[in-house]
């Protein structure tokens, strides 16, 4: 019943003439407490802020958790791929086809080693800069035109390898900052989404 409901809403959303976008939180599904999956944590926070936290449904067509929301008059598809990071693009591309969205309509939310924890920034297109999830999306969508919300996690110190660092949970000290980081990330994202909508169409 839930899958049928989601499919029905998907058909309705795909048929809308108004502005739409998809926000995909990149990560390793089931490891959302790790630094590498902070994009999925941002999506959970965004869903709560948009009052659709109870709206997540499994959509097997794109192998992802999906919730539908509205922000500033823009219909949003919230997506958390149920795949490993380096295959996230398969879910994003499938959802883009289902909802009739182009690469320019897609936001990718992901971790960024080159930014300190507490720093978030919007990036318009460009290369993956070594991020496997972003590269997967570029390959699957055959485009690099997606907007990215980069959430800083900083780089490891000492002899800690990058792979073990990104796949580890946030430290106790980092956890104390994380709530502020999530709030900042959602605010940055919603401000950019609002800028896409003509003033007269904003909710």
- The residues annotated as belonging to the active site are 36
Q: CB count, 10 Å around CB of 109?
A: 29
In three-state secondary structure terms, 27 is coil
CA separation for the pair 68, 63 (Å, rounded): 16
Q: What is each CA distance from 3 to 12, 56, 76, 91, 196, in whole angstroms?
A: 14, 11, 18, 16, 30
CA separation for the pair 145, 154 (Å, rounded): 25
In three-state secondary structure terms, 28 is coil
In three-state secondary structure terms, 76 is strand
The angle subtended at Cα 106 by Cα 147 and Cα 174, nearest 5°, is: 60
Q: Are 96 and 21 in contact (CB under 8 A)?
A: no
Q: Are 141 and 171 in contact (CB under 8 A)?
A: no
The DSSP output letter for 31 is -
């Amino acid at each position: 019943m839930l899958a049928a409901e989601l499919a029905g809403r998907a058909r309705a959303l795909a048929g809308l003439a108004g502005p739409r976008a998809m926000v995909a939180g990149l990560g390793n599904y089931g490891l959302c407490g790790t630094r590498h999956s902070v994009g999925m944590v941002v999506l959970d926070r965004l869903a709560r802020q948009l009052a659709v936290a109870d709206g997540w449904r499994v959509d097997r067509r794109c192998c992802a958790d999906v919730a539908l929301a509205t922000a500033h008059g823009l219909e949003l598809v919230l997506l958390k791929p149920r795949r490993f990071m380096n295959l996230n693009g398969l879910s994003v591309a499938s959802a883009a086809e289902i909802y009739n969205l182009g690469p320019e309509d897609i936001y990718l939310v992901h971790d960024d080693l080159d930014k300190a924890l507490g720093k978030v920034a919007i990036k318009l297109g460009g290369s993956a800069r070594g991020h496997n999830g972003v590269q997967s999306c570029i390959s699957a969508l055959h485009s690099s035109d997606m907007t990215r919300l980069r959430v800083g996690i900083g780089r490891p110190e000492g002899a800690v390898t990058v792979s073990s660092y990104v796949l580890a949970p946030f430290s106790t000290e980092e956890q104390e900052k994380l709530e502020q980081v999530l709030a900042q990330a959602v605010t940055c994202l919603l401000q950019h989404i609002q800028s896409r909508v003509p003033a007269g169409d904003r909710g």
